[in-house]
């Protein structure tokens, strides 16, 4: 019976030793092993064997976050395994002062990755605290070199400066800072109110300028349209006058040509029967008599001295019409 109990005790002790001597490391994790207080080995992913009671993992501080009561709460715990993946730390909001003495509140995110587990363990006592304090002091220094307006409009510049400074400082700790992001930049309430008033004034100014530009363009277009209309109207009047003048000139030319043709025809005809000069003189006398008798009910009120000549001319016309003239 005693041997059985001893055997069970030995088996239990062996199982305990075996459990303590086997370490299964997950992917992207490592474990630093110390033997009798001195660095011995770094265990990588997979199954690893250590000597119980002589080999022990070195614990490090690591920052965790959890949601408690609807709020995201960060806390620090001691871990045996070192996570080699990229990690993000969300630091609480802190107050910083700009170069123009404006107090603003800023919170930042830092993305970093462990590159050398030995340095993380042996070069710094608490990595989360060191990174947080370094980020806070660096942020104060960077913001202190900028005015409020520059701080609000230069996030990329601030992020780049922070990343460069933090990466240089944390390199000796075996950490690579990949990115730094500013989440919120909150100025004081009175500054926010002043900025809102300034923004409203700027919007009103731009609206007034745009309205004035619109009115100006409308007036310009209206004037140009009136000018074009006047030019077109003047062009139309000029063309109408030119066409009218051309029509009158053509009419006069046609009348003159018709009169010339008539005179030539009459002259040729009269030349066959009598003296053309007498014929033309007779026509002029008849026209003159017609003018003299206008408005007199076709009654002759004045007989010139050369009435016999006129009557002779009329007779000559009568002979011409009747065809009794001599060739």
Q: CATH number for the domain including 82?
A: 3.30.479.30
**Tell me, what's the pLDDT at 243?**
87
What is the domain count for the chain?
Answer: 3
Q: State the pLDDT confidence band at 176, using cuts at 50, 70 and 90.
A: very high
Q: Considering the chain, what is the average pLDDT of its residues?
A: 81
Q: State the pLDDT confidence band at 324, using cuts at 50, 70 and 90.
A: very low
**Stretch 305-323: mean pLDDT, rounded?**
51
**Residue 111 class from Cβ within 10 Å (0-12 exposed, 13-18 middle, 19+ buried)?**
middle
Q: Name the least confident of 39-48, 64-73, 96-105, 250-259.
A: 64-73
**Residue 126 class from Cβ within 10 Å (0-12 exposed, 13-18 middle, 19+ buried)?**
middle
Residue ending a domain, among 34, 57, 80, is 57
Same domain, 125 and 21: no
Same domain, 163 and 84: yes
The answer to whether 64 and 74 are in contact (CB under 8 A) is yes
**Tell me, what's the pLDDT at 327?**
41
**Stretch 29-37: mean pLDDT, rounded?**
93
**Tell me, what's the pLDDT at 287?**
67
Same domain, 66 and 48: no
> Is residue 284 one of the residues assigned to a domain?
yes
Residue 326's contacts (CB-CB under 8 Å, 6 or more residues apart) are: 273, 274
CA distance 286 to 171: 133
Same domain, 50 and 68: no
> Is residue 235 one of the residues assigned to a domain?
no
Estimate to the nearest angstrom the gap between the alpha carbon of 253 and the chain centroid.
68
Which residue range(s) make up the domain with 18? 2-57
pLDDT tens digits, 261-306: 876 776 666 565 556 566 666 666 666 666 666 555 555 445 554 5
Residue ending a domain, among 143, 159, 187, is 187
Same domain, 131 and 182: yes
CA distance 170 to 87: 14
Task: List Cβ<8 Å contacts ≥24 apart for 216-221.
Answer: none
> Is residue 94 one of the residues assigned to a domain?
yes
pTM: 0.58
Residue 234's contacts (CB-CB under 8 Å, 6 or more residues apart) are: none
> Is residue 212 one of the residues assigned to a domain?
no
> Is residue 36 one of the residues assigned to a domain?
yes
Same domain, 76 and 6: no
| 3-class DSSP assignment, residue 79 | strand
What's the DSSP call for residue 186?
E
> Is residue 112 one of the residues assigned to a domain?
yes
| Residue 116 clears pLDDT 80, i.e. is over it | yes
> Is residue 222 one of the residues assigned to a domain?
no
């Amino acid at each position: 019976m005693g041997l059985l109990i001893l055997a069970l005790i030995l088996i239990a002790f062996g199982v305990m030793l075996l459990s303590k001597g086997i370490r299964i490391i997950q992917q992207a994790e490592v474990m630093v092993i110390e033997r009798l207080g001195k660095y011995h080995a770094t265990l990588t992913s997979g199954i690893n064997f250590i000597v119980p009671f002589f080999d022990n993992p070195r614990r490090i501080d690591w920052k965790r976050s959890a949601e408690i009561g609807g709020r995201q709460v960060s806390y620090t715990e001691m871990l045996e395994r070192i996570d080699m993946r990229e990690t993000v730390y969300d630091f609480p909001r802190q107050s910083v002062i700009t170069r123009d003495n404006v107090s603003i509140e800023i919170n930042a995110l830092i993305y970093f990755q462990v590159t050398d587990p030995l340095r993380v363990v042996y070069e710094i006592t608490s990595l989360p605290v060191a990174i947080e304090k370094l980020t806070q002091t660096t942020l104060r220094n960077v913001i202190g070199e900028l005015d409020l307006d520059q701080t609000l409009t230069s996030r990329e510049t601030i992020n780049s400066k922070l990343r460069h400074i933090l990466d240089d400082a944390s390199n000796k700790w075996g950490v690579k800072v990949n990115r730094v992001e500013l989440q919120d930049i909150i100025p004081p309430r009175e500054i926010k109110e002043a900025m809102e008033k300034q923004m409203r004034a700027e919007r009103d100014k731009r609206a007034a300028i745009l309205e004035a530009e619109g009115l100006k363009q409308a007036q310009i277009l209206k004037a140009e349209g009136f000018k074009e209309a006047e030019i077109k109207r003047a062009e139309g009047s000029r063309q109408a006058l030119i066409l009218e003048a051309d029509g009158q000139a053509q009419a006069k030319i046609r009348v003159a040509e018709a009169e010339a043709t008539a005179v030539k025809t009459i002259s040729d005809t009269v030349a066959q029967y009598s003296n053309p000069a007498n014929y033309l003189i007779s026509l002029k006398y008849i026209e003159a008599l017609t003018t003299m008798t206008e408005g007199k009910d076709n009654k002759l009120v004045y007989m010139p001295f050369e009435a016999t000549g006129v009557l002779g001319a009329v007779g000559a016309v009568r002979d011409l019409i009747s065809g009794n003239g001599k060739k």
